[in-house]
Structure 1
Amino acid sequence: MNKQLRLLIVEDSEDDALLVVRELRKAGYSVVYECVDSSESMDAALEREWDVIVADYVLPLFSGPAALRAVREKGIDLPFIVVSGNIGEDIAVAAMKAGAHDYILKSNLKRLVPAIERELRDAEVRRERRMAEKALHDTNTLLKLFTIQSSKKEYLDSVAGLLQQWTGCEAVGLRVLDKEANIPYESHVGFSDEFRESEHFLSLGRDHCVCPRVVAGAPDPYELKYMTPNGSFHCDDTMEFLSHLPDEAKARYRGTCMKVDYMSLCVIPVFYRNKILGAIHLADRAKGKVPRKTVEYIESIQPLIGEALHRLNVEEDRESLEAQLRRAQKLESIGILAGGIAHDFNNILAAIIGFSDMAREKVPPGDRIKRHLDRIYEAGLRGRDLVKRVLTFARQAEQEKKPLLMSSTIKETIKLLRATVPSTIDIHFDIKTESGLVLADPVQIQQLVMNLCTNAIYAMREKGGKLTIHLSDFSFDDISQPPVARMNPGNYIKLSVADTGPGIPPDIMEKIFDPFFTTKNPGEGTGLGLSVVHGILESHGGVMIVSSEPGKETVFTAYLPKYVEQSRKNEAAESVIPSGSERVLFVDDEETLAELGQELLTDLGYQVVCKTNGREALALFRIDPDRFDVIITDQTMPEMTGIELAKEIAASGFVTPVILCTGHSQMVDAEAARAAGIRSFVMKPLTKREIAKTVRQVLDENRA
């Protein structure tokens, strides 16, 4: 039998102390002991852990009662046995009343072992009772916290404070596993700002150290010695731990806790049922600060934290989904309104652009009127671009999508921006994928990157900071846990734009994607930047999430579906305006635009007949179907829409090509137009070159 016993002896006689030790060793105990004989040495000894205290009653510089008082003042509950050479019954009774558990004469040490074993059993019973009472109290405290705190952050902050109070640890952190396999600190107390910034965003897949391994449930072989049966890492001396690491492991081991001299280190997984949700991180610069029994105790209560964290995560996800739904519904309503306005505005712009374009051709170069007409024409084109931006937000603009290398687009955009970026702002690239393709409109993707970066730069204009652009692959296959609502499982390109500006106040977070909402000063922005970003992403099947910590940083993260096919489509640009002599039926309910169409096409050499009503145009066509080589029609017209006219013509059995030209219609896109037999679908307002190219292309294809 080899029972371990840590014995503190209050005795000035080494011989008498050895008699006590010898008696215990005869009973099979492996005794580790220390002798003290003064108040100072007693106080120092009580900083360490002991199983039992044996004290002489009278010493030259100290006494048993004084030692007993020191134990009680420190709130230590240990078996305390008085062993004296000569003690009267009255003194023995006084010692017992003061808190001693037994008294034994040195002449009768055969009573020592039974007395110690009895008191050790009683002490264990008292310890278990205290632990049960503490567990009940702490459980009630944790349950109460869950009911009174209004958010996950408040709850975890309170839990971190309680854990620091219960353990006495210098630093406590609570890491929570997110949907991208990162384990950021959701709450922390006691860590320095430098440590927290360095260790905040650890990743299960990227970072090699204790916290990710514990949360992953996959410790390395050299960590097994320090693991508890419940999956916690417990180390009383991190320098000893590092000394046992193989050289290969040391080279890749992060070990920031050790580098800042945390000697005691514990990482305890937080479970919800059998799933790890995060970890409790305890650190202290003193060795042996967290006893094994404290780790076991936290392991026993962590399921309460896991249950609360799961419920808070579910509630947070629900609120996030509801907010995204409200935002989507609001933006959809605004988009419908914007699209309707765009239709009327495009008709106005079509007249401005078309008539000014024709007028410019009739005025000699250098003439003052020619310059004025050029300015009108240019203003019309700018107005057209603005309408396209509004329609992009409304997801109703036609796009030319093709496979696009995101890394190249980002680098080109930053080249354009760099000249306008103040020297106080550093630009940092973190491009993890050079080959990631998306099927996208290059101009719109560049605009997306440009808008996000210019917003970030504006946020840091006064104090400077760091603009970080991160590009990586991302995939998920669990439809029940999408990173963002309405995001389908699959492979994505993930683009994050982060700035270290003042952050976005929570009270305006819901408004940032609203058209014309801006916090910029008058004249500094239109408020369309982020709404356009939202529209571009929606039209490309992408999604976005925004996170912002006021006073620290803001991160916009966009997910775009990854494109795997490698086909490319190239179109050659024509250098001259094509013309012709064929017969054209032009239909538009706006008399101004009908007049414009007739003059413009006549200038190009075509024979043109105009109608301002779809039914009239159909009747004219049916009289002599061979009279026209092509029909150009508006979509939104009274009595009969353009697509209805096209269907009637197709139903007549004739193959006269139809071009659908409209200012806006959310009911028709290019695919719907082709299904109705329409050969080409274009959006107003068009320039003379654009309409000429479209007409010529359709006529040539029909002839072929």
Structure 2
Amino acid sequence: MIDDERICVLGVDDRPGNLIALEAVLETLGITFVKANSGQEALEFVLEKEFALILMDVQMPDMDGFETASLMRGNRKTEHIPIIFVTAINFQQRHVFKGYNTGAVDYLFKPIDAQILRSKVQVFIELFRQKEILKHKAMELERANRHILAQQRALKTSTMRFTTAFDQSFQFMAILDARGRVLELNALAKELCDAARRNTVGQYLWDILCLGNAEQHQSLQAIVERAMAGEATNDEAVFYDRNKEMHSFLRTVSPVRDETGEMLFIAVQGQDISKRKKAEEDKQKLEAQLRQSQKMEAIGTLAGGISHDFNNILTIILGSAEMAIRVSGGDHEFDRYIERIIMAANKAKDLIQQILIFTRQSDVQRVTFPPVNIIKESVKLLRASLPSSIEIIQKIDSRSGPIVADPTQFHQILLNLCTNGFHAMEATGGILTISLDSVTFDQPVMRGGDEIKAGTYVRLTVRDTGAGISPQHLARIFDPYFTTKEVGKGTGMGLAIVHGIVKGNGGFIEVESEPANGSAFFVHIPLAEGAGEDRNPADPANSNGGESILLVDDDEVFLKMTGVMVEMLGYRAVSRREGSQALELVRENPNDYDLVMMNHVLSGVTGIELSDKMREIRPDLPIIICTNPGSAALTGASAGKPVVADMAC
């Protein structure tokens, strides 16, 4: 309620006595009566305060009541204030109408009846009071409306945030009603449910998800039914998208209740862990490869050590055999036996080289060779190792020219392709055909997205009559670790290695295959430039002989054999088993030696260290260091130094 003392009534009269009389009559109403002695003063009051009513005399000097009322009605701030004219003259009707026209709501004529005055004033006070109450309520409604609008904006913002987070979440999210029917799906869930082509709202989730099999379908239905009974579930599941690609998900299905415990809806969430699982699988593969690599490194280290000692033995055998031929006196029968020893020793040497290449202890050595002989030798090995259910057919064009490659790598290409063909025919048997011919391209051609240079290529073809390769797998067969074989039948690296070797030699490989109709691999390697020319370099002119060669090796037998061979060639050999002894000889007589030949592995010192010390004494001293093939220590240590690393020892 509004306090009456706060309600103001303005009295306007140029005679103070009249105003006092009015104030006395209205005193019992409990209001505030404000007195103005002129129209100008009245105008100032109404601009400062709010009045419930104005009691104004008509006859006033300077500005009469009509003019004052007219000015009040012309101001938006005061136009609403009711005015009662109080006058003792001008009872004529025209004056009364003039007063109403200027904004008066009533007239009081003097002498004024006190009861009538209070009654009329009381009416306007009550009207003012009700107006103020309405104004107050309007303000409260306005505040309430602003609060509601603010809440609506906050709710809209919150809803927008939720909708954005819901739709843009990388998780599968679905909201189901208490019976398991779809209320809302986020973007990922819509994609998996193919919501763009069908209505999903109101459907059971297990009826619209592509679960792949009945077991997964029943599993989801059972989990949702448990959620309907109030039980939450976490498990792993498999979904299929509309492209039939499989996705592994961590799935959570849980009921959501209000504060009274009543179920509002069922929330289904799924986190796609396909990439994580693939990463874990890749990690396991890498760990397996690392373990295999470490095994191969250990084998390689062992093979490197064995090959060093074995090469020393072979050197003694070969050296002794060559010396035996020199002293045989022309006994041809005896020479044939010795030549067989030399042939066998050279094969053993090549075998060691292959072992070192296999264990990555030897560098790739590209030479010019005809692949015919390697194919024939490989076929012999294959016939002995493959079962009788696999028939091997050779179609070798002996006119196929030589290629420039590593013979061991070419052998690996052939064995990998043949092994691949054998696995394709292992269950049923079949025919393995190995062909060699040549093909010429008169101009560059495109093969597998690469431009192949014009020229002649030696073509190796390996064809099997096995199960063939499906089109979707054909594009991936050269990918590392890709395999369709059973566990234990392959690592997925065989064809990748073949592809890498062929590309590394400037060639290319093509494949033809159909399911149930076998496969054919065509390996093209460029024909060696100048094929048919004599590539054997002329023997260097023999020196005059008599030069002094210092031999250093801790193997006494090897040292003696090398010394004999050097002397047979017309040189003078000086042998020492200890590096310190050899160094002392050079220090005492640095110019007495035309060449130093030493083993890289010596007791107490390496060949590199010993050669450095000798070079400090005599910088121009020629030195040959004999070492195991592919010695990383020698290769790294001799970088930038004039030291010859002989791979033959």
**Which entry has the higher C-alpha Rg, 1 or 2?**
2
How does the TM-score come out when normalised to structure 2?
A: 0.43
Ranked by relative contact order (alpha carbons within 8 Å, sequence separation 6 or more), the top structure is 1
